[in-house]
Amino acid sequence: MEERLQKYLARCGVASRRKAEEMIRAGRIKVNGQTVTAMGFTVIPGEDQVEVDGKIVSPPEQPVYLLLNKPTGYVTTARDERGRPTVLELVKNIDVRVYPVGRLDMDTEGLLLLTNDGLLAYKLTHPKHEIEKTYHATVRGIPTRKGLEQLRQGIVLDGRKTAPAKVRILKPGKETLVEVVIHEGRNRQVRRMFAEIGHPVVSLRRIKLAFLDLGELKIGAYRHLTAGEVNRLYRIISKSKA
C-alpha cells in the first residue's frame, strides 16, 4: 500500500509530518537513491528504500509472537545450508521476519515460539531465567528407579552435570512414555540424558514452555499468542533471577 513520503517519515520517527515536508523540500530525502523534493510523492513501505541525510530509515515493526506445533523433519534455523525444510516455511503468510526462540532438533516435534521480539527471545533462552520446558519422551524399555533418580540428580554431559530434572513415568511398556521437565537448553539434552541411563529416546515432543502448552493445535499449525500471554511471559522474565 502506497503511503505519502512525509507520513512514512513521521512513522519512522524521523520528524513530525510538517517537519518532514520541510526536510523533503530541503533535499535531504532520497528514495531508491534519488533525491525527492516534490510534494505528494508516495512510497511503498517494505519495497522502497528511504534515506534521510544518507541514512536508511524504516518504521518500527509490530511485535509478533507465534506458537508453532513443530512437526519432525524441519530444522529450527532461519536457513539451512543443506536445503532441508525450515520451521519458517510453516509460517509463510506472516509478513514480518520472525525467529525461533531456542531450538528443537529436526527429529523433535512440539511447542516452538517464533518472534521478532529479540529482547523476549533472548531472555526466554538465557539460562539464568530457568524457564521450564516440559517434554514427553518415548524411550526404549522401562527406566529403572535408579535411572530416573540419576536424571533427577543430574547427569554429566560434556563434563558438566545437568541441573536437576523433574521426571515421571506416564505409561510403562516395551517403550515407555516419560514426562521430563528441564530448564536448561543444552544440545540434544533430553536425548543424551536418556542415552546415558541406557534408555534411548525413540520420539520426543515438547508439550510446554513455561505456562504455554500446545492445547488443540494440530501438528504443523501455529497461533498468535494473546496479549495476556505475552504480558505473562514478560512478568516471568522480569521476576526471575535476572
DSSP string over 174-189:
SEEEEEEEE----TTH
Residue 6 binding ligand URA, by CB under 6 A: no
List the one residue from 48, 51, 80, 105 that touches ligand URA (CB under 6 A). Answer: 105
106: DSSP letter: T
Q: Which of 53, 80, 95, 105 is catalytic?
A: 105
Is residue 100 within 8 A of residue 112, CB to CB? The reply is yes
Q: 36 — phi, psi (to 5°)? A: -115, 125
Instruction: Give min distance, CB of 133 to ligand URA, in A.
Output: 7
Calpha distance 160→24 (Å, rounded): 60
Candidate residues 140, 183, 188, 232; the one interacting with ligand URA per rule CB under 6 A: 188
Q: Of these, 70, 136, 191, 205, which contacts ligand URA (CB under 6 A)?
A: 191
Which position among 124, 189, 199, 237 is part of the footprint of ligand URA (CB under 6 A)? 189
Task: Select the span of 20-28, 31-39, 104-112, 162-170 touching ligand URA (CB under 6 A).
Answer: 104-112
Q: Long-range contact list for 21-25, CB < 8 A, 24+ apart? A: 23/52
What minimum distance in Å lies between the beta carbon of 70 and ligand URA?
A: 9
- Is 10 a residue that touches ligand URA (CB under 6 A)? no
Which residue lies nearer to ligand URA by CB, 28 or 136?
Answer: 136
Sequence-distant (≥ 6) Cβ neighbours of residue 67 within 8 angstroms: 111, 112, 113, 212, 214, 217, 222, 223, 224, 225
How far is the C-alpha of 58 from the C-alpha of 114, rounded, in Å?
22
CB 35 within 8 A of CB 29: yes
Determine the interface stretch with ligand URA among 52-60, 141-149, 189-197, 215-223 (rule: CB under 6 A): 189-197
Q: Is 105 a catalytic residue?
A: yes
Per-residue interface string for the shown chain with ligand URA, residues 108-147, x marking contact by CB under 6 A? x---------------------------------------
Is 184 a binding residue for ligand URA by CB under 6 A? The answer is: no
| CA–CA distance, 101 with 81 (Å, rounded to integer) | 20
Residues found near ligand URA in the complex (CB under 6 A): 104-105, 108, 188-191, 204
Catalytically active residues are 105
